[in-house]
């Protein structure tokens, strides 16, 4: 059963790479994600993000730095495939009413609209993760 799930995830990942060009190998790692979801279709969103949580870092596909600043435009429809690789984490942006489940070795798809301009923070609300640096800027222009 796990093997089937893993294969399914990798197929989806490969299609996503072909479709978006935004995705780096970071998003398609060797992590054994127990992923029953197919993930989102990047074409359905103004901005599609593949984000992994690992240690105290958010790794955004296509970005060199960990916990990078993410910039979108007001009104953008945002799709996020969020996967927790290591530990237990979530993905939260208070001002935009975004809050994933707290996940362990799992993925969750998140959809929201950037309906308010400003400089916000995405972060992990688990334990003291945010205080230990698990956050980045989320800018809506
Ligand atoms: Cu965390």
Q: Which of 120, 85, 119 is nearest to 103 (CA)?
A: 85
And the tokens for 90? 């979530």
- Residue 47, domain CATH: 2.60.40.420
First CA to last CA distance, the chain: 44
Distance 57 CA to ligand 1 centre (A): 8
**What total of structural domains would you count in the chain?**
1
CA 92 to ligand 1 centroid distance, Å: 10
pLDDT confidence of residue 101: 95
Q: Measured in angstroms, how far is the CA atom of residue 59 from the centroid of ligand 1?
A: 12
Query: Could you tell me the distance, in angstroms and rounded to a whole number, from the CA of residue 56 to the centre of ligand 1?
Result: 6
Residue 128 CA, ligand 1 centroid: distance in Å: 8
Q: How far apart are CA 27 and CA 68, in angstroms?
A: 15
Q: Determine how many CB atoms are found less than 10 A away from the CB of residue 112.
A: 16
What's the 115 CA to ligand 1 centre distance in angstroms?
A: 25
How far, in Å, is the centroid of ligand 1 from the Cα of 87? 7
| Domain that residue 136 falls in | 2-140
Residue 73 CA neighbour count, 13 Å, CB half: 4
Quick one: which of 85, 71, 86, 67 has its CA closest to 118? 71
- The residues of the chain scoring below 50 in pLDDT are 1-37
Report the pLDDT value the prediction gives residue 39, as an integer from 0 to 100: 87
pTM, to two decimals: 0.75
pLDDT tens for residues 68-95?
999 999 999 999 999 999 999 999 999 9
């Amino acid at each position: 059963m796990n093997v089937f799930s893993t294969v399914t995830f990798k197929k989806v990942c490969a299609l996503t790479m072909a479709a978006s060009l935004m995705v780096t190998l970071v998003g398609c790692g060797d992590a054994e994600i127990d992923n029953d979801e197919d993930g989102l279709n990047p074409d359905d969103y103004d901005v599609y993000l593949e984000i992994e949580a690992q240690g105290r870092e958010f790794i955004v596909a296509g970005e060199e730095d960990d916990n990078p600043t993410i910039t979108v435009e007001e009104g953008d429809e945002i799709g996020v495939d969020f996967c927790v690789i290591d530990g237990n984490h979530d993905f939260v942006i208070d001002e935009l009413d975004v809050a994933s489940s707290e996940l362990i070795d799992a993925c969750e798809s998140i959809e929201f609209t950037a309906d308010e301009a400003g400089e916000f923070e995405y972060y992990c609300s688990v334990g003291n993760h945010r205080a230990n640096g698990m956050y980045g800027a989320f800018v809506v222009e």
